[in-house]
Structure 1
Amino acid sequence: MPEPDPEVHLLVDALAERGVRAGVVPWGAGTDWTTAGLTVVRSPWDYTEQPQDFLEWAHAAAAMAPVVNPPNVLTWNAHKGYLAELAASGVPVVPTRFARRGAPGGELVATLAGFAGEVVIKPAVSAGAVGVLRVAADAPRALAHLGQLTAVGDAMVQPFVESVVTRGEISMLFFGGVHSHTVRKVPAAGDFRVQTAYGARTVQVEPTAAELAVAGAALAAVPGEVTYARVDLVEYDGAPALMELELIEPELFLPYAPGSAGRFADHLVALLS
C-alpha cells in the first residue's frame, strides 16, 4: 500500500532478535508461499476493495504453508455480519441492523425506522472509516447514503454512540488469546472518527474487568484459532459493548505499548516451533 505501515517494522525487528527472519511482501501472486514457515496477515488494507480475491489468496496460500489468522477466521470476519452472530450468542454488541445489496427502498426505510436520533451508516465490508456517515436516521441523506452503499454491497446501521465522543473507543489487543495491551482512541474535537488519520489521539490504558469479560466472550465465539485480535469496545447504556472485532488487518498499536511487539513475536515463534 502507498501508506506506510507504522508498526510492522517493530515486529520484524522483534522476530530478528529471536533469530527469526521475516520479510514483508504483498499478498497475491509474486511470492512463493511454500518458502515461508508461517505467513502472518498484517496490513492488506486494500482487501476491502477486492475481498473475494483476498480470501481466495488466503485459502491458496494456506494450502502451501500455515497462514494466520487462518482463512476460515478471515472469511468469517470479512463481513460484519459476524456482529449479529456474536449478539445472538450473548456477547454485548452495539445494536446493528443490516441492509442487503440491492435491497428495495422499502427495506431501506424499514432498516432506518428501527433507530431514533443519529445513526452511523457504513459498508458491511469496510475498514478505516471509509464510507462512514453520521446522520439523523430520519434525514433524507441517511436513506440516500444507505441506497448508495447497497447499490454495490451490503451495508450496516448502528446508533451513534455518544460515549465515542466523550470517552473514546477502547481497543484491546490479544496475542494467542492472551491480553497484551489496551489503548483508548479519542477523536479530535468536533469529530467522531477514532483513526489517527482524522486527528484522533491514542493513549495506553488498563482495561476494566468488565471490558476483559466482554472481550473474552467475543473471542470465545470466533469459529477458529486466533493468533492476533483487536477487540474494539465502547460504553453503551452504561456498560462495555462490542463495536467491532478486528481479526484481519487491525492496527495493533505496538508503538504505544512497550514490549508488545516482543509478546507478539514470542507467540509467533511458538507457532513456528
Structure 2
Amino acid sequence: MSSHRIALCTWSDPAYVDPEPPLVAERLVARGYRADVVVWHEDVDWSAYDLVVIRSTWDYFERLEEFLAWVDRVDVESRIVNPPAVVRWNVHKGYLAELGAAGVAVLPMLVVPRGAVDVAERIAATGWEEVVVKPAVDGGARKTARGAATSPALVDHARQVVEHGDVVVQPYAPGIEDGEVSLFVFDGEVSHAVRKVPAQGDYRVQAHHGGAEHPHTASEAELATGRAALALAPAGVVYARVDLVEHEGVPTVMELELVEPDLFLRMDPDALDRYVDLVEAQLRPA
C-alpha cells in the first residue's frame, strides 16, 4: 500500500450525506492509497495527509471566515485543492462581474453591499422588469427569490438578505426553464456534462427543489464559454463545474462552482474513475 494519505472533506449534516466522497475513497483504497472521508471543521491533524480535497463542505457559507482560515491553514500543513486563491476568488459571486468585464458571456448583475438602505432604489434603477435576488455568498439557491423588480415582497426579501451580507441582483433569464447545463472540468478537460431542468413552473434546477437531471453533450459554444471563464481564475483550477444557461442565443455563465460542487459522477459511467485519476494525479510532482 502507498504511504500517501488523502482526505476528502465533507460536512456534518446528517440530513444529507453526500454519497460521492465514500465512493472516491473506496476507489483510491483499491488503488493502494489511504483515503479518509473527513468533516472539514473537526479536530484533525491535516499534516498527516499528503492531499486534502474539498468536496461537499456545503455549510461553508454559514461560517465563511472560519472556512477560509481553514483552507489557508490546511494548505500550509498539507496541500489543498482547489488552491486557496481559487477558493477565495470563487466564494463571492462578485467574480461574475470580473468575467463580464473580460468579455465572457455572463448575465448582467448588480451587487448591493451589505447594510445598504436604498435597496429598492438600486433595484429599480437597473430597469430590469423581472429579477432574481440572491446572497453573494450562498449555495443551493437557499435564499434566492424571483419576482418583479418593483414587487414589495421581493424588495423586502432583498432588504432582509442585505442585512447579513452583499446581495446579487440579476435579470431573470427565461432560458433557465429549458435547463441549466453543467460542464464538469477535470484538470482542464471536460469529463462529462449534465442538463438540469427545473420542475414545471419553477426556475430552480436543484434536485431538492424538484429539478431533474439528464446527460448532455456539450456544444462547441458551451465549451468555448467554459474555457474562457476558467482561464480567468487566479490560480490553477483542478476541478470545476461551469453552470451555463442559454440567454439571448448565447451560452451564458450562471456560476463557476470551484469550491464544493456536486460533480454528478452518477451521471456518467466513467466519471468516477476519471475523478479518481484526477485526485491521484495531484500526488505526483508537477
TM-score tier (shorter):
over 0.9
* Larger deviation, residues 199-208 vs 23-32: 23-32
CA contact (8 A) 2:120 2:150 kept: no
Q: Counterpart in 2 of 1:136?
A: 148
- More strand per residue: 2
* Offset at residue 28 of structure 1 (A): 2.5
Q: Equivalent residue of 1:23, what SS? A: strand
CA distance in 1, matches of 2:21, 2:130: 37
Of 151-160 and 19-28, deviating more is: 19-28
Tell me the equivalent position of 2:48.
35
SS at match of 1:41: strand
Q: Find the counterpart in structure 2 of residue 52 from structure 1.
A: 65
Q: Which amino acid aligns with 2:114?
A: R
1:77 equivalenced with 2:93 (yes/no): no
Residue in 1 that maps onto 2:229: 218
Per-residue CA deviation, residues 191-239 of structure 1 (Å, 9 max, x unaligned), is 1110001111101110000000000000100001111100000001111
2:165 to 143, 149, 153: 153
Extract structure 1 runs of 4+ deviating beyond 4 A.
none
8 Å Cα contact 2:123/2:149 also seen in 1 = no
Deviation for aligned residue 1:115: 3.6
Q: Percent identity?
A: 46
CA offsets per residue over residues 162-209 of structure 1, 9 Å max, x none? 1111x1000000111111000000011121110001111101110000
Q: d(CA) in 2 for partners of 1:153 and 1:115? A: 23
CA distance in 1, matches of 2:71, 2:124: 35
* Unaligned stretches of 5+ residues in structure 2: 1-12
TM-score, normalised relative to structure 1 = 0.96
Q: Give, in whole Å, the separation in 2 of the partners of 1:161 and 1:17.
A: 45
Q: Which amino acid aligns with 1:135?
A: G
Aligned-pair CA distance for 1:240: 0.4
Does 1 or 2 have the higher relative contact order (CA < 8 Å, sep 6+)?
1
CA RMSD of superposed structures (Å): 1.1
Contact kept in structure 2, 1:78 and 1:125, CA below 8 Å: yes
Distance 2:141 2:128 in 1: 22
Show the counterpart of 2:209: 198
The Cα of 1:131 is off from its aligned counterpart by: 0.5
Q: Tell whether the 8 Å contact from 1:119 to 1:135 is kept in structure 2 after alignment.
A: yes
Do the aligned residues in 2 keep the contact of 1:109 with 1:143 (CA within 8 Å)? no
Q: Distance in 1 between matches of 2:148 and 2:213?
A: 28
Mapped contact 2:134–2:167 kept (Cα < 8 A)? yes
